[in-house]
Amino acid sequence: MNPLGTGDPLRLGPYRLTGVLGAGGMGQVYLGRDVRGQLAAVKVLRSEIAHEPEMARRFLREAQAAQAVRSDGVARVLAAQMVGGRPWIATEFLAGPTLDQAVERYGPLDEPTARAVGAALVRTLMDIHGAGLVHRDLKPSNIVLTSRGPRIIDFGIARPEYGLTLTTTGESLATPGYAAPEQVLGQRTGPAGDVFSLGVVLAYAAGGRPLYEGGHVAAVQYQVVHGEPELDAVPPAIRTLVVPCLDKEPGKRPALDAIARELAPPRAADRAWRTGPLAEDIARREADARRMATLPGDEAPGPSRRRLIGGLAAGGAVLAAGGGAGAWWLLDHDDSQAETRPWAAKPLAHHQEGSAPTPLWGPVDTGLSDPDDEITPLPVHDLVVVAATGRRLRAYGVRDGGKRWTSAVAGLTGRPLVLFDDTVLIADTHGAVRALSAEDGKERWAAAPADAATLLAVDDKAVFLATRGGRLRAVSLATRSTLWTVPSPVRLRGGRPAAGAAAKGRLVVHGSDGQAVALDTRSGRTAWGPRRHGTTAVAPAVDGDTVYLGGKALTALTLATGERKWTHTATGDLGWGAPALHDGVVYAVDDTDLHARRADTGAAEWTVTVGPEVHPLDPPVAEGRSVWAVVDSTGRRGVVAADTREGRIAWPYSQGSDGAWRLAGADNRVFLLQVGQLTAMPVL
C-alpha cells in the first residue's frame, strides 16, 4: 500500500481515503475510513475508461451482484455511488490471509480443515446461487480465511445463471486452471461451473499444488478442456470428493447439497483458524486493522497515519483480484511498521560530529573465527542470526545481544534466507533445504533431496537455489517438491558465487562470470539475458518493477523485460559494488566513492569519498537516515556511516583488526560482524 499521490481523491462519500491499495483491471483501490473508524476498500473506476458505458455498467454490476447476496460468507458491500461521472464501490475490509497465502505459508490443509473450508464454501455458494448468481471466479486468492471462517470475495465477473463467459469476442475473464471447461470455451456457465471451481480449490487446499499447470495460459486452458487433473498430491479421502466435481460435462457434476453431505467435517474441524499458527496470523492482521481504524489524522498528535501507510508500502497489503475485472483488498500483516515492532531502536537524537556513537551492545563473541564460515548477519523478527561453530546458526536478541538459541541442524552451506519474518531457510551439506523456526531454531520442515549447493532467493511460492551440479532449481514452499530444474544460463560458481533476487514472477541471477539473467519463476524459462554486466557476481537489488545491477555499470532495468531504464559506467577498474535501495534512492560504491542516486532516474543526489580504491563488492546498508559502507577489503580501516540527508561522512567505526566486515540493518540498528565479533550500532 502506498500514500495518496497527486490526483488521488481525498474523500469519497463518507470515507476519508488514507492510502492507495492498488489497482485491478478496471479500478483504482483505496483504503478508506469513515467517521466511526470503520475501514473499507474503496474501488473507483479508472478515469480513462469511466466514459465507456459498458465499463461503467460492468463496474456497477459488480456492486449490484455482491449486494444481492445475503450471506455471512461474502465480503459485504457497504456503499456504491456515482461521483463526478465515476462510480465507486466500498466493500468490507477483511483482515486475514487468502487461502493460497495460507497454503504457501503453512502447507496443505489437513483433511478435517479442508472439509471445514469446503463446507463453508458450499454454504456460501448456495447463498450466491440462491440469489440467482454464479460467482464464476472461485479460486484460492478469492477466499479469505478470517477468524469467523472463510469468506468469498470479488463479484467482478459474477453473472446471472444464464450469463455468458465472454464479454466481447475473444475476451475471456476466466482464471486459468480454476474456470470450468464450458467457461473457458465461452459457453453458458451455470452453478455447475462454480462446482468445478470448488473441486479445484479443495484439491489445491488439501494437496498444496494446482491441478492444472502449464508454461502459459493457453496450455493451462487446454489441460482444463482436454486433459486430466494432476491429483497425486491430493489425499485419497479428499480426492474422492473432488473427482466428481471435475467432470467435463456440467450436468454430471454433483449438486451442492450432495457435496455438503459428503464433506461432513468432524466436530471442531474449524480449529485451524481458531488456534495454532494460522489463527495467530489472522489475529495479528486483525490487530493491525484495528490500529489502522483508530489512527488519528495527519494533523493530530500521536502515531502518524502517513508513517503507517508508508510502512505498508513495503508490502503491507495484498491484492486478491478476480479475472482482471475486480479488485478486493485485504490487510496483510507486515511487522516492518514501527508501531508493531516494539523491539525497534530509536534513532540518535544527537551525535558528536566525526565520532562514532557508543554501540547499542557488543561486541559479542559468536565463537566463530574462520572468516570462510561467516555469513552476513540476518535480521529476522526480534533476532539477528549468524553462523556458529559447526556451521550451525545462532540467534541473538536485537535489544541486548543475548544468545537465544543455537540450531541443532549443522552443515550450513551458503547464506540463509528469511521467509515470512518467522522462518529461516538454509541449505545443508547434504543438499537438503531446511526451514527453521525463528523463535527457537527448531526445524519446521525439510525438502530433501534438493541437491542444493546454495540458496539464491525466495518469494511467496518457492525457494530458488543453485544445485551442486550447476543447475537452477525451484522448490515449492507448499509441497516441498521440485517445481522445475533448468541448466543455468550463467556460471554459478567462481571467485564470488552467483547471487540472486526474486520478485513479481522473475528470478534474477548475477553469475560468477559477471552475466545477469532473469528467469520466469513459474517455469524456469529465460525471460531475458544473459547479459554481461561485469567480471564477477554482484548481488542484484529489486524494488517494485525495477532491478538494479552493479558491475561495469550501475544499471536499472525493467524487471519483467530487462529493458534498460538508466545506466552509469564505473570509473574504477573494480566496477560498481552491489547496490542498496532505501526510500527511493540507490546507494552503491564505485572506486573510492559512495554514491547516492535517484532510483527512478539515476540522477546524482550526492557523492562522498569513503576510502581507498580497493573496496568490497558487498552492498552498503541503508538504515534510518544513514548509509554504511565498508572502507577497504582488508577490514582494518573499518566502516563509515554517511548522513543521507546531507551527503557527508557522519563517523568512522573500526575495531582495529583485520578481517572482512559483514553488515546488515533493521529496525534502526546496523549489525556489524568482523572475525566472529557481532556489534549492534545506532543510526541517525
SS3 113: helix
Q: Which helix (H) or strand (E) holds 666?
A: strand 661-666
SS3 46: coil
Contacts of 289 (CB under 8 A, 6+ apart): 39, 93, 95, 331
Which of 578, 537, 577 shows the shortest CA–CA distance to 454?
537
DSSP 521-588: TTT--EEEEEEE-SSS----EEETTEEEE-BSEEEEEETTT--EEEEEE-SSTT-B---EEETTEEEE
Instruction: Please tell me whether 43 is known to bind a ligand.
Output: yes
SS3 383: strand
Contact 592/612 with Cβ under 8 angstroms? yes
10 Å CB burial of residue 386 (0-12, 13-18, 19+) is buried
Q: Establish how many alpha carbons lie within 13 A of residue 664's alpha carbon, considering only the half-sphere containing its beta carbon.
A: 16
The CB density around residue 623, as the number of other CB atoms within 10 Å, is 27
SS3 173: coil
Indicate the angle between helix axes 111-130 and 256-263, nearest 10 degrees. Answer: 160
Report the catalytic residues: 137
Q: Find the DSSP H helices in 208-349.
A: 217-226, 236-242, 256-263, 277-294, 305-312
SS3 64: helix
CA distance 19 to 254: 44
Letter string b/e over residues 249-278, b meaning 16 or more CB atoms within 10 A of that residue's CB: ebeebbebeebbeebebeeebbebbeeeeb
Which of 520, 433, 445, 446 shows the shortest CA–CA distance to 484?
520
Cis preceding-peptide flag for 416 (omega within 30 of 0): no
CA distance 60 to 62: 5
In this structure, is the dihedral angle defined by the CA atoms of residues 69, 73, 79 and 82, taken in order, positive or negative? negative
Polymer length of the chain: 684
Task: Name residue, grid cell 490500529.
Answer: 291
Known binding site: residues? 43
Known binding site for ATP: residues? 43
